[in-house]
């Protein structure tokens, strides 16, 4: 069973924050980041997809408002 090193959660949180700032359309998910096993990976994938849908929805509503 994989084990994360001490401080793993903090490093992943920082990496995600920096990635979100630099490349908001890039999401990370998988056993290397937050929980291993199929259920955890599926949950992470769903969370990543939800974030992207929110981002694209916000971008669409912003650009639609500018077409007038």
Residue whose entry in the numeric block shows the structure tokens 């990370």: 28
pTM beyond 0.85, yes or no: no
Check residue 9 and give its pLDDT. Answer: 93
The mean pLDDT value for 42-66 works out to 87
Check residue 50 and give its pLDDT. Answer: 95
How much of the chain is in helix, strand and coil states, percent to nearest 5? 65, 0, 35
* 20-50: b (≥16 Cβ within 10 Å) or e: eeeeeeebebeeebbeeeeeebeebeeeeee
Mean pLDDT score across all residues of the chain = 89
Residue 61 reports pLDDT greater than 70? yes
Give which of 29, 34, 24 is closest to 4, Cα–Cα.
Answer: 34
The mean pLDDT value for 11-26 works out to 94
């Amino acid at each position: 069973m994989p084990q994360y090193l001490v401080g793993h959660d903090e490093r992943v949180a920082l990496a995600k924050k920096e990635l979100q700032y630099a490349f908001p359309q890039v999401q990370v998910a998988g056993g290397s980041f937050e929980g291993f096993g199929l259920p955890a990976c599926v949950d992470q994938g769903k969370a990543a997809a939800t974030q992207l849908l929110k981002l694209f929805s916000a971008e669409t509503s912003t650009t639609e408002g500018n077409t007038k």
